[in-house]
């Protein structure tokens, strides 16, 4: 059974069909790439999957559950976490607190216990700290736990964003251009991080990327979008050798 199954997904803004009849099937454990020229509708697909936009047509199923009309929050609770093209961290909060925001759905105590610092508060906070540190160490951010997120260098901000997404314990992780703005060195490190996330958490990942080296290096399957439509879909190698794809990328 596929983890994510999207059928006939479409959305229009004004007269423009930004995403038109989009289909995708992602199996558990896959690392899937969504590529395409600028303005092809890749981020719009992410926004549809995470409930930021509501589609005009189509069905999105996650783990056999229909999440099409759910809110962003509910979709996160159902098991999709994401990062953003332009990094969106909680800038004025510490690194560990960023992760603990992501953990909050799994580690609970009542607001009253929180305000009085009584009852389950201390125990749960301790568990959250431990879990957050475990995550941060995976992403090599352990020594920066008390640094303000905005003070982290760029590459580490990307990592923290992934760590925060992982903290929500997703079934599917969406990465929106994780290598944007990175130099080749940092991109290499990022590829290692993504590989690590798969290994460590047995995670299914869908990523948007422009960096062909990264895409061909780690993705098993690809979907190419062009003008909001699926141009080509399948194994990475086949897709990248498809003449239509080459035309779309390089022009006539």
CA–CA separation, 206 and 239 (whole Å): 16
How far apart CA 160 and CA 101 sit, in angstroms, is 12
CB 19 within 8 A of CB 45: yes
Helices (H), ranges, the chain: 42-49, 72-78, 95-103, 111-116, 121-138, 154-167, 184-201, 212-218, 236-241, 243-250
At closest approach, how far in Å is the CB of 117 from other proteins? 5
Among 30, 32, 50, 228, binds other proteins (CB under 8 A): 50
47 vs 236, which CB is nearer to other proteins? 47
Pick from 66, 105, 200, 238 the residue near other proteins by CB under 8 A: 105
Contacts of 240 (CB under 8 A, 6+ apart): 212, 216, 222
What minimum distance in Å lies between the beta carbon of 128 and other proteins? 8
* 109 belongs to the binding site for other proteins (CB under 8 A): yes
Q: Do 60 and 3 meet the contact criterion of CB atoms below 8 Å apart?
A: no
Q: Is 93 in the site for other proteins (CB under 8 A)?
A: yes
Q: Which is nearer to other proteins, 62 or 128 (CB)?
A: 128
Contacting other proteins (CB under 8 A), which of 8, 151, 183, 247? 151
Q: Give yes or no for a contact between 36 and 232, defined as CB atoms under 8 angstroms apart.
A: no
- Which positions lie near other proteins, rule CB under 8 A? 43, 47, 50, 52, 71-73, 76-77, 81-82, 84, 88-94, 97-98, 100-102, 104-105, 107-109, 111, 114-117, 121, 124-125, 128, 146, 148, 151, 164-165, 167-168
């Amino acid at each position: 059974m596929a983890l994510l199954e999207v059928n006939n997904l479409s959305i229009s803004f004004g007269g423009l069909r930004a995403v038109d009849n989009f289909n995708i099937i992602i199996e558990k454990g896959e690392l899937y790439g969504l590529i395409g020229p600028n303005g092809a509708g890749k981020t719009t697909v992410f926004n549809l999957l995470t409930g930021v936009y509501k589609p005009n047509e189509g069905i999105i199923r996650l783990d056999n559950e229909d999440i099409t009309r759910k809110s962003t929050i509910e979709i996160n609770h159902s098991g999709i976490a994401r990062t953003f093209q332009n990094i969106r961290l909680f800038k004025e909060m510490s690194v560990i607190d960023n992760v603990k925001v992501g953990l909050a759905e799994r580690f609970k105590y009542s607001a009253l216990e929180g305000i009085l610092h009584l009852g389950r508060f201390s125990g749960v906070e301790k568990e959250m700290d431990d879990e957050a540190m475990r995550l941060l160490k995976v992403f090599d951010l352990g020594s920066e736990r008390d640094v303000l997120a905005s003070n982290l260098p760029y590459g580490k901000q990307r990592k923290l964003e992934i760590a925060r997404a992982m903290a929500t314990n997703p079934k599917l992780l969406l990465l929106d251009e994780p290598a944007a703005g990175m130099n080749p060195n940092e991109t290499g490190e990022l590829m290692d991080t993504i590989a690590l996330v798969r290994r460590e958490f047995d995670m299914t990942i869908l990523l948007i990327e422009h960096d062909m080296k990264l895409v061909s290096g780690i993705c098993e399957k690809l979907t190419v979008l062009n003008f909001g439509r699926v141009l080509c879909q399948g194994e990475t190698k086949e897709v990248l050798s498809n003449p239509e794809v080459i035309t779309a990328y390089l022009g006539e």
